[in-house]
A and B are shown apart, each in its own frame.
Chain A
Amino acid sequence: MGGENIEITKDLTIPQLFYRQCKKYGSGKVAMREKEFGIWRPFTWQDYLDNVKYLCLGMVSLGLKKGDKVAMIGDNRPEGIWAEMATMCAGAVPVWLFQDCMMEEVKYIVDHSDSRFFIGETQEEVDKALAIMPECPKLECIIWDDPKGMRRYHLEFLMSIKKAQELGRELDQKEPELFEKLINEGHGDDICLLFYTSGTTALPKGALLTHYNMLSMGQNLMAVDPCYDTDDFVSYLPFAWIGEQMMSISCGLQVGYTLNFPEEPEIAQHNIREIGPHVMFAAPRLYEGLTRQVQVKYLDSTWIKRKAYEVATKIGYHVADLKFEKKPIPWYWRALNKFAYVVMQKKLKDHLGMSRLRHCYTGGAAMGPEHFRFFHALGVNLKQIYGQTEIAGISVTHRDGDIKFDTVGTPIPETEVKITEDGEIISKAPRSFKVTIKWRRKQKRH
């Protein structure tokens, strides 16, 4: 595991770890890739550092202070991660919004979180921010990334990421030590991210997570399923979801694996195939979609292919069932499974982008056992996880070779899970969230 030598203590912050990793890997290793204009463009750890540094200093020169909130909205792109990391480096707190948030939700979250800065990807997000500005008096500055359609926007408080980075460069020339100073000021118990929960019981509540919460989450997950810095991960689920933050930031930064950003959300599946990730985390809906896709294409294919598929899946299902029941697999079934692999599984896994997949997680909702069996019959190590925003990611996961698909597995290290008499599940871990923003105060008042 790439992160073995990293000790997660309460003194370590995400920006400090980020800085350390950037210095360790420098220009020699790709930190992230983005598909743009039809080709994969790499960014090394040095590029990552430079972009974050200047954006951070740019926002500082625009008046960003420690503890300020920065609302962010946009698709998964390197610029999104840079903005998030730059905000953290300045000691401020990123607040991610879902890309499809309606105006009312954007207004509620920006206002409720007291955000002073807003970083939006395109004209669409900027328009949302401009529309809510009169009702969110604390919002001062809007930064955008994609110049398309922005030629007519000439407002003083509105600028591009590139312009902000130029300001950062100027500040860096004046105060070359400032960036490191800002990073070193942080403490592991400081707030690093503010997440708004889905709000199933009332209006969304903002959960405050610390650097220690996030980093210990990553460490505990990887104690169960180690990752390596040679791994690839495709980041395409919303940054506003804790699951994506857990994989991209908590785990990604510790291990130093490469993050890959698809060209457009609609063709993420196609891009996943091109990358062939080693680790994957998605909602059940994606896996269910893949199962359906395979079944439809099976019906459309030629006789010989259909027969090969039928024989191979029969073998696959039998072997998977033996594994589920934890029974030994006889040598002849192993041999047959090898045959199934050559005849069908290898090719199909390649089409699904799962050839190199080592750990594959599903979470966020329940998934039908049939889908589970389907993927295991293909030889894909699909595992269920269970967690929530307040615990900085997950608390429970399946272990390799111990998968019961009507359960969600066993707790990961340093986690306790209990079921109360009322049937409520309660979890305890060092990474449990610090507090809910503006919530306690209100509760006391009641």
Chain B
Amino acid sequence: MNNAGGVQAGDVILKLEDINMAFGKVQALNGVDLEVRKGEIHSIIGPNGAGKTVMMNCINGLYHPQKGNIYFKGEKINHLSPHKRAERGIGRTFQKLELYGGMTVLDNIRMGSHVHLKSGILSGSVYAGKTKKEEIEDRRFIEEEIIDLLEIEGIRDQVAHMLPYGLQKRVELGRALALRPELILLDEPMAGLNLEEVEDMARFILDINEEKLWKVTCVLVEHDMGVVMDISHRVLVLNFGNMITDGVPEEVGKNPEVVKAYLGEEDLYITRR
């Protein structure tokens, strides 16, 4: 959301070069390249086992690829651990929810903004002075910009694992946003949601991508073709670790190889459109 590092809209913010990742003899990613420009929603699609989540994990630092380079805002981040990458502005959500189940929604979201808090253990134990100011500012940001945006006012004090799945997905997005990321990795944010929830989630993604305050670049892994084709600026197609194509949604939708490998029947492609 900030312009630190001097990356302007349209510049490449994330670059993956020749990424190779293998688990034993399984080649999950085979020389994949990706360029994500600032301000884009760049989707990654592909059949199950295509390597989409592996790619997310490589960007985010959970996996370290055997070969290839990852650059974020021009800086090589291969060697950085996930929390260091988070500090640099890469946020993410998970396909399978990874919330702190026993904590409240508010605490989960506050956890996301933890990297920005400067108070130490000692000053944090006394709610006064700078710490107090910092806490209030942090809370203001969470309330006014995240909870209000995601419309979760009604559940802020509820324990996360007691919530319905659709709401938990929203809380995950909220936690990722609390990091105030420049780049957000969304791993199947619509999976398991009903139509209304999908519409809401698509609206939130567009909001964080377009609103002046956020302007977050999104990398979106998603199976819902209707959503992908509607909201993405560019789409990358993977199949068994190989890159099939990378282009604007209209072109990708027409690519015969893509239709064969992933979209399959015409009917499948038009689901929910």
CA distance A266 to B154 in the complex (A): 6
Measured CB to CB, the nearest residue on chain B to A263 is: B153
Report A225-240 CB contacts with B as 1/0, cut-off 8 Å.
Answer: 0000000000000000
Question: Are B203 and A267 in contact, with the CB atoms below 8 A?
Answer: no
Report A206-243 CB contacts with B as 1/0, cut-off 8 Å.
Answer: 00000000000000000000000000000000000000
Minimum CB–CB distance from B236 to chain A (whole Å) comes to 27
Q: Is A151 an interface position by the 8 A CB rule?
A: yes
Measured CB to CB, the nearest residue on chain B to A37 is: B143
Task: Enumerate chain A residues within 8 angstroms of B143, measured Cβ to Cβ.
Answer: 37-38
A38's partner among B149, B156, B203 (CB-CB below 8 A) is B156
Report A128-155 CB contacts with B as 1/0, cut-off 8 Å.
Answer: 0000000000000000000011010000
CA distance A357 to B156 in the complex (A): 27
Minimum CB–CB distance from A303 to chain B (whole Å) comes to 25
Q: Is A264 an interface position by the 8 A CB rule?
A: yes
What is the number of residues of chain B that contact chain A, defined by CB distance less than 8 Å? 13
Q: Is B14 an interface position by the 8 A CB rule?
A: no
Measured CB to CB, the nearest residue on chain B to A123 is: B203
CA distance A267 to B148 in the complex (A): 15
Q: Is B147 an interface position by the 8 A CB rule?
A: yes
Minimum CB–CB distance from A95 to chain B (whole Å) comes to 27
Restricting to B204-224, which residues have a CB under 8 Å from any CB of A? 207, 210-211
Measured CB to CB, the nearest residue on chain A to B206 is: A149
Task: Enumerate chain A residues within 8 angstroms of B149, measured Cβ to Cβ.
Answer: 148
Q: Is B265 an interface position by the 8 A CB rule?
A: no
Task: Enumerate chain A residues within 8 angstroms of B144, measured Cβ to Cβ.
Answer: 37
Question: Are B148 and A37 in contact, with the CB atoms below 8 A?
Answer: yes
Minimum CB–CB distance from A149 to chain B (whole Å) comes to 7
Task: Enumerate chain B residues within 8 angstroms of A264, measured Cβ to Cβ.
Answer: 153-154
Question: Are A267 and B207 in contact, with the CB atoms below 8 A?
Answer: no
Question: Are A149 and B156 in contact, with the CB atoms below 8 A?
Answer: no
Task: Enumerate chain B residues within 8 angstroms of A151, measured Cβ to Cβ.
Answer: 210-211
Question: Are A267 and B210 in contact, with the CB atoms below 8 A?
Answer: no
Minimum CB–CB distance from B167 to chain A (whole Å) comes to 11
Report B5-26 CB contacts with A as 1/0, cut-off 8 Å.
Answer: 0000000000000000000000
Question: Are A267 and B147 in contact, with the CB atoms below 8 A?
Answer: no
Task: Enumerate chain B residues within 8 angstroms of A266, measured Cβ to Cβ.
Answer: 154
Minimum CB–CB distance from B203 to chain A (whole Å) comes to 7
Task: Enumerate chain B residues within 8 angstroms of A148, measured Cβ to Cβ.
Answer: 148-149, 207
Task: Enumerate chain A residues within 8 angstroms of B207, measured Cβ to Cβ.
Answer: 148-149
Question: Are A38 and B153 in contact, with the CB atoms below 8 A?
Answer: yes
Task: Enumerate chain A residues within 8 angstroms of B154, measured Cβ to Cβ.
Answer: 263-264, 266-267
CA distance A446 to B34 in the complex (A): 73
Restricting to A254-273, which residues have a CB under 8 Å from any CB of B? 263-264, 266-267
CA distance A263 to B154 in the complex (A): 8
Minimum CB–CB distance from B124 to chain A (whole Å) comes to 21
Measured CB to CB, the nearest residue on chain B to A35 is: B153
Minimum CB–CB distance from A273 to chain B (whole Å) comes to 12
CA distance A396 to B164 in the complex (A): 43
Report A326-337 CB contacts with B as 1/0, cut-off 8 Å.
Answer: 000000000000
CA distance A43 to B156 in the complex (A): 25
CA distance A37 to B153 in the complex (A): 8
Restricting to B162-203, which residues have a CB under 8 Å from any CB of A? 203
Minimum CB–CB distance from A280 to chain B (whole Å) comes to 21
Measured CB to CB, the nearest residue on chain A to B140 is: A37
Task: Enumerate chain B residues within 8 angstroms of A149, measured Cβ to Cβ.
Answer: 203, 207
CA distance A148 to B153 in the complex (A): 15
CA distance A116 to B147 in the complex (A): 35
Report A77-121 CB contacts with B as 1/0, cut-off 8 Å.
Answer: 000000000000000000000000000000000000000000000
CA distance A37 to B140 in the complex (A): 8
CA distance A267 to B140 in the complex (A): 20
Minimum CB–CB distance from A290 to chain B (whole Å) comes to 18
Minimum CB–CB distance from B106 to chain A (whole Å) comes to 9
Restricting to B61-93, which residues have a CB under 8 Å from any CB of A? none
Restricting to B18-72, which residues have a CB under 8 Å from any CB of A? none
CA distance A148 to B227 in the complex (A): 20
Restricting to A143-174, which residues have a CB under 8 Å from any CB of B? 148-149, 151
Task: Enumerate chain A residues within 8 angstroms of B153, measured Cβ to Cβ.
Answer: 38, 263-264, 267
CA distance A263 to B149 in the complex (A): 14
Measured CB to CB, the nearest residue on chain A to B210 is: A151
Restricting to B110-151, which residues have a CB under 8 Å from any CB of A? 140, 143-144, 147-149
Task: Enumerate chain A residues within 8 angstroms of B211, measured Cβ to Cβ.
Answer: 151
CA distance A264 to B153 in the complex (A): 7
Measured CB to CB, the nearest residue on chain B to A152 is: B210
Task: Enumerate chain B residues within 8 angstroms of A38, measured Cβ to Cβ.
Answer: 143, 147, 153, 156
CA distance A149 to B149 in the complex (A): 10
Minimum CB–CB distance from A264 to chain B (whole Å) comes to 5
CA distance A263 to B156 in the complex (A): 12
CA distance A267 to B157 in the complex (A): 11
CA distance A149 to B206 in the complex (A): 9
Report A259-296 CB contacts with B as 1/0, cut-off 8 Å.
Answer: 00001101100000000000000000000000000000
Measured CB to CB, the nearest residue on chain B to A38 is: B143
Q: List 13 A-B contacts (CB under 8 A).
A: A37-B144, A37-B147, A37-B148, A38-B143, A38-B153, A148-B148, A148-B149, A151-B210, A263-B153, A263-B154, A264-B154, A266-B154, A267-B154
* B binding-site residues for A, Cβ under 8 Å: 140, 143-144, 147-149, 153-154, 156, 203, 207, 210-211
Q: A148-B207, A263-B153, A267-B153 are in contact. List 19 more A-B contacts (CB 8 A).
A: A37-B140, A37-B143, A37-B144, A37-B147, A37-B148, A38-B143, A38-B147, A38-B153, A38-B156, A148-B148, A148-B149, A149-B203, A149-B207, A151-B210, A151-B211, A263-B154, A264-B153, A266-B154, A267-B154
Which 6 A-B pairs rank lowest in CB-CB distance, beginning with the nearest?
Answer: A37-B143, A266-B154, A267-B154, A264-B154, A264-B153, A263-B153
